[in-house]
Amino acid sequence: MTVHQPPQTVRANGIDICYEIFGNDNAEPLLLIMGLGAQMIHWDDAFCEQLAARGFRVIRFDNRDIGKSSHLTGGKRLTPFELLKLRLFRIPVAATYKLIDMAKDTVGLMDALGINSAHLVGASMGGMIAQEVALSFPHRVRSLTSIMSTTGNPRVPPPTREAAAMLMAPPPRSKEEFMVRFGQTWKVLRAGHFPEEEALDVGRAERVFARGLNPAGVGRQLRAVLASGSRKERLRGVKIPTLVIHGTVDPLVRPEGGKDTAESIPGAKLLMIEGMGHALPMRFWPEIIGAIDKHAHGAAAQAA
């Protein structure tokens, strides 16, 4: 039976961060950083428990502007025109905060929990935040696992039209609309036939809705990603043991994003998962959890 501490809120980097811990206090600390607009519960409970069972103290948390962490203010909805200016003329997008601020939130949470250094596992935008922590606070990172993420390199192919449209869609106006949208969104992101996941989507959507939505915050997070530019050149200086995991059919952060990340970080290992889109379906957990386990424990053994 996994030791589990229910969600708590702590002050870190000037904001409130809601976090939850699975596993023993003396196990290897492993921080899970979620992606754009995704609450910490998108790291499935059973996924966290399985990692904890491998000897990790697993900490998941809501990024700023999502779930039960602080909701900020300011910024307008991103327009297609701003995206076009960024893509064609490299005219930067205005942002209330950037990924470096979210990296400081992560380090602030570690400070609040008395953790000097941890294994970082980030998915999508969470992978970008984890990369930024590795770049700006390398002494705080024992190992880095970047999942379905990218370097910010503008040469990486953009999302598919369907995935991009989903990203730019106006926020749902009612719970009913949200529930329908949730199912549609994950169907697009999974990029395949996953009936066992779809069966759980209604329950997942209920749980996300109950914890609270913040569409304006998701918009600010998206601006943070776009305003932070490319990390590609800086990543060449990363000396932390790095694992890159990516799906071969990812419609949002294309497979080239993962390959670019692995090529940019010296010595990084690349694991391409056949048939995986921009999601973490249960059928891929044995491979993903096994790879994280081997990588993080391997890095810990090397450091010792």
CATH number at residue 222: 3.40.50.1820
Could you tell me the two tokens for 207? 């749980």
Between CA 300 and CA 281 the distance in angstroms is 27
Could you tell me the two tokens for 170? 């106006």
Q: Residue 70: phi, psi to the nearest 5?
A: -55, 135
DSSP 195-256: HHHHHHHHHHHHHHHHH---HHHHHHHHHHHHHT---HHHHTT--S-EEEEEETT-SSS-HH
Per-residue pLDDT for the chain (304 aa), expressed as one digit of tens each? 679 999 999 999 999 999 999 999 999 999 999 999 999 999 999 999 999 999 999 999 999 999 999 999 988 877 777 777 777 777 778 889 999 999 999 999 999 999 999 999 999 999 999 999 999 999 999 999 999 999 999 999 999 999 999 888 889 999 999 999 999 999 999 999 999 999 999 999 999 999 999 999 999 999 999 999 999 999 999 999 999 999 999 999 999 999 999 999 999 999 999 999 999 999 999 999 999 999 999 999 998 7
pLDDT for res 294: 98
Outline where DSSP puts E strands in 65-104: none
Q: Are 148 and 249 in contact (CB under 8 A)?
A: no
| pTM score of the predicted model | 0.96
Give the chain's domain count. Answer: 1
CA-to-CA dists, residue 129 to 122, 188, 266, 285, 301, angstroms: 7, 24, 19, 22, 25
CA-to-CA dists, residue 23 to 191, 241, 263, angstroms: 32, 23, 33
Could you tell me the two tokens for 175? 């719970």
Domain that holds residue 218: 4-303
Between CA 59 and CA 99 the distance in angstroms is 20
Outline where DSSP puts E strands in the chain: 4-12, 15-22, 28-33, 56-61, 118-123, 141-147, 242-247, 269-273
Largest CA-CA distance found in the chain, in angstroms, rounded: 55
Spatial CA neighbour of 225 closest among 39, 86, 40, 84 = 86
CA-to-CA dists, residue 30 to 50, 75, 106, 215, 233, angstroms: 13, 32, 12, 28, 26
